[in-house]
Amino acid sequence: MEKASAGMWRKIDSRYNLVGSMCERCGTKYFPQRAICRNCGKDTKMLHRKMSGRGTVYSHSEIRVPAEAFKESAPYTVGIIELEEGPKVEGHIIDNGKKVEIGTKVKTAFRKMYTDGEEGLIHYHFKFIPE
Amino acid sequence: MRDVAIIGIGLTRFGERWEHSLRDLMAEAGLSALTDAGINGKDVEALYAGIMASGRFVGQEHIAALLADQLGFDNIPATRVENACASGGTALRQGYIAVASGIHDIVAVGGVEKMTDVTTSEATTALGGAGDQEWELNQGITFPGLYALMARRHMHEYGTTVEQMAAVAVKNHLNATKNKYAQFRKEITIDEVLNSKPVADPLKILDCSPLSDGAAAVILAPLDIARKYTDTPVKILASTQATDTLCLAERGSITGLKATAVAGEKAYKASGLKPGDIDVAEVHDCFTIAEILAMEDLGFFKKGAAAKAISEGETALNARLSVNTSGGLKGCGHPVGATGVKQAVEITMQLRGEAEGRQVSGAEIGMTHNVGGSGATAVVHILERTN
Ligand SMILES: [Zn+2]
């Protein structure tokens, strides 16, 4: 995953503060941030909007065979979360002993995501925790 | 626009081909296709080659020129096409466009992938690049994980069961036993699927297509000169393609692939056909749930009705509609760049009446459906027998 390191330092606002976009022209909300509104194209007027971090589980899966960077965390649960503002986002669901089902209410928590390469650089990212 | 026909086909056996390199595999499939069309490398005017991730799998980029040389083509334009697991189908469409437009007459289309030289976790990382690197793979969501999320939601909305998903694998393995090119020529049972190793819940290892080595090739020509080369040209009635968001979470619905539905509708419109006219289809069953989605998105069954129909045998060999007679990606194997081209090879065999023990009787019209990633690309072709 070392190749992706630089990318993890971009969009820090989205990764750390759950900042998405809202098109002022048509009201459509997006996460992650993007430059061009699907409805408005070149007439887009994009604003940044921090999401509340609350939402419900839209779908979920327990990953048993992970990609290289997550070898040490497997098995772990991931899901698609429908944020209360509307956009859906994918992420880790933290195991706090509560059962995870479609419809389970979750909120964001800021956690270590994985350790990168030999130098052990730790990447942080939002995750979701069942309420 | 000119009508286009497939005049030659070639295929390698799929599977772990340890003793054969990427270029060996492409040479084997290419030579078969040239021989089948009765032409030589010097007759080919352009090459389009579908390869997803040769850089990650074998450390080689600039593949199209390498393959053109290895196949004995004569300093022709050669172009690599990459659309994840739909690279092969997209290469076929580029070849179709080149011939239909009149720019070239004889065009070779190849697809190849050499996936078994790396470890499973390296391959999982490479295939993860078919999804959204920043917002899916970097969150620890693997490629099977994306289809697991779709499967879970489909189960929730339509009552689809793990047994019904397993039935897709059982059917496709049975078909693969009749295909000498297939990776798995072994029947499996529903119980074996359900008890196999979990990969991304609810998907088990036997719900997933394997890592494979393999190559496929077809030769295209204008239909009006196709009979110079073969008595059994297969006409391309439609070649369509569509896209969707790379990131699954950004789609309105995840119980179907909109790109498949859009490409499918365009293909029916271009050919003047409807789902009921298709006799045989090769659809993109990278995971068992994916075949269920494809059957619904392509209009063969109503939304939510395909899983039951498949498990009741409606898409078995020579049933109402024969689906994945090659064994599909699940049974025949899935060397990602090769798959979309292999689908066209299988349908051509079916329409020529050359599919041996898995022949669909009286097959006149066939379809191929190739998906990239979790559905950000879909490519559909409709092929017709002409003899
Ligand atoms: Zn807008």
Cα dihedral A105→A109→A114→A120 (10° resolution)? -170
Q: If one looks up domain A52-131 in CATH, what number appears? A: 2.40.50.840
The CA radius of gyration of chain B, in Å to the nearest whole number, is: 19
Min Cα distance B131 → chain A (Å) is 12
Taking the centre of ligand 1 as the mean of its atom positions, its distance from the CA of residue A27, in whole angstroms, is 6
Q: What is the ipTM of this complex?
A: 0.95
Contact A65 B247 (CB under 8 A): no
In this complex, the residue of A32, A78, A87 whose CB is nearest that of residue B141 is: A78
**What was the pLDDT predicted at A68?**
83
Range 20-59 of A in CB contact (< 8 A) with B: 30, 32, 58-59
**What was the pLDDT predicted at A9?**
67
Question: Given CB atoms, is A6 within the 8 Å cutoff of chain B?
Answer: no
**Cα distance from N-terminal residue to C-terminal residue, chain B:** 22
Residue owning tokens 């997803």: B52
Neighbouring C-alpha atoms within 13 Å toward the C-beta of B14: 37
Spatial contact of B216 and B10, defined as CB atoms under 8 Å apart: yes
| pTM for the whole structure | 0.97
- Among candidate residues B104, B154, B284, B334, the one labeled active-site is B334
Question: Given CB atoms, is B144 within the 8 Å cutoff of chain A?
Answer: yes
Contact A66 B121 (CB under 8 A): yes
In our burial notation (b when 16+ CB lie closer than 10 A, e otherwise), range B9-39 reads: bbbbbbbbbeebbbbbbbbbbbbbbbebbeb
Spatial contact of A75 and A60, defined as CB atoms under 8 Å apart: no
The CA radius of gyration of chain A, in Å to the nearest whole number, is: 16
Min Cα distance B290 → chain A (Å) is 16
pLDDT in tens, B153-206: 999 999 999 999 999 999 999 999 999 999 999 999 999 999 999 999 999 999
Min Cα distance A17 → chain B (Å) is 15
Q: Where are chain A's structural domains? A: 18-50, 52-131
Question: Given CB atoms, is B74 within the 8 Å cutoff of chain A?
Answer: no
**What was the pLDDT predicted at B310?**
98
pLDDT in tens, B262-300: 999 999 999 999 999 999 999 999 999 999 999 999 999
Q: Which residues of A touch B137 (CB under 8 A)?
A: 67
Taking the centre of ligand 1 as the mean of its atom positions, its distance from the CA of residue B373, in whole angstroms, is 27
Q: How many CB atoms lie within 10 A of CB B262?
A: 18
Percent of chain B's residues with pLDDT above 90: 97
List B37's β-bridge partners, or say none: none
* Per-position pLDDT tens, chain A of length 131: 444 566 666 777 777 788 999 999 999 999 999 999 999 999 999 999 899 999 999 999 999 999 888 888 899 999 999 999 999 999 999 999 999 999 999 999 988 887 776 667 787 889 999 99
Q: Which residues of A touch B133 (CB under 8 A)?
A: 4, 7
User: Where does residue B1 rank: exposed (0-12), middle (13-18), buried (19+ CB within 10 A)?
Assistant: exposed
Question: Can you tell me the distance from the alpha carbon of B10 to that of B342, in angstroms, rounded to the nearest whole number?
Answer: 9
Q: Which residues of A touch B123 (CB under 8 A)?
A: none
| Domains of chain B, start order | 4-119+212-234 (3.40.47.10), 138-210+235-385 (3.40.47.10)
User: Where does residue B54 rank: exposed (0-12), middle (13-18), buried (19+ CB within 10 A)?
Assistant: buried
Question: Can you tell me the distance from the alpha carbon of B268 to that of B1, in angstroms, rounded to the nearest whole number?
Answer: 18
Strand A121-130 with A76-83, pairing: unpaired
pLDDT in tens, B218-277: 999 999 999 999 999 999 999 999 999 999 999 999 999 999 999 999 999 999 999 999
Q: Which amino acid is at B48?
A: Y
Spatial contact of B306 and B56, defined as CB atoms under 8 Å apart: no
Q: Kindly list the distances between the CA atom of residue A65 and the CA atoms of B125, B142, B217, B289, in Å, as whole numbers in the listed order.
A: 11, 8, 33, 18
Question: Can you tell me the distance from the alpha carbon of B315 to that of B326, in angstroms, rounded to the nearest whole number?
Answer: 13
Asked about B334 being catalytic, the answer comes back as yes
Contact A90 B156 (CB under 8 A): no
Question: Can you tell me the distance from the alpha carbon of A30 to that of A48, in angstroms, rounded to the nearest whole number?
Answer: 9
Question: Can you tell me the distance from the alpha carbon of B43 to that of B219, in angstroms, rounded to the nearest whole number?
Answer: 11
Strand B280-282 with B365-372, pairing: parallel
Q: Six-digit token pair at A27?
A: 């009201």
Question: Can you tell me the distance from the alpha carbon of B44 to that of B24, in angstroms, rounded to the nearest whole number?
Answer: 19
Q: Residue B11: is its pLDDT beyond 80?
A: yes
Contact A68 B124 (CB under 8 A): yes
Q: Six-digit token pair at B65?
A: 């020129």
Question: Can you tell me the distance from the alpha carbon of B17 to that of B38, in angstroms, rounded to the nearest whole number?
Answer: 27
Q: Which residues of A touch B124 (CB under 8 A)?
A: 65-68
Contact A67 B153 (CB under 8 A): no
Question: Given CB atoms, is B155 within the 8 Å cutoff of chain A?
Answer: no
Write out the H or E segment, with its range, that includes residue B11.
strand B4-11
Spatial contact of B110 and B345, defined as CB atoms under 8 Å apart: no
**What was the pLDDT predicted at A1?**
43
Mean pLDDT of chain B: 97
Contact A66 B249 (CB under 8 A): no
Q: Six-digit token pair at B185?
A: 């020529």
Min Cα distance B256 → chain A (Å) is 14
Q: Residue B374: is its pLDDT beyond 90?
A: yes
pLDDT in tens, B34-81: 999 999 999 999 999 999 999 999 999 999 999 999 999 999 999 999
Contact A90 B248 (CB under 8 A): yes
Q: Which residues surround ligand 1, an ion (CB under 5 A)?
A: A 23, 25-26, 28, 37, 39-40
Peptide bond into A32 cis (omega under 30): yes
What is the DSSP-derived secondary structure letter of residue B211?
-
Question: Given CB atoms, is B161 within the 8 Å cutoff of chain A?
Answer: no
**What was the pLDDT predicted at A2?**
46
Taking the centre of ligand 1 as the mean of its atom positions, its distance from the CA of residue A38, in whole angstroms, is 6
Question: Can you tell me the distance from the alpha carbon of B186 to that of B193, in angstroms, rounded to the nearest whole number?
Answer: 13
Spatial contact of B280 and B360, defined as CB atoms under 8 Å apart: yes
User: Where does residue A96 rank: exposed (0-12), middle (13-18), buried (19+ CB within 10 A)?
Assistant: exposed
| Residues in CB range of A17: below 8 A, 6 or more apart | A50
pLDDT in tens, B79-107: 999 999 999 999 999 999 999 999 999 99
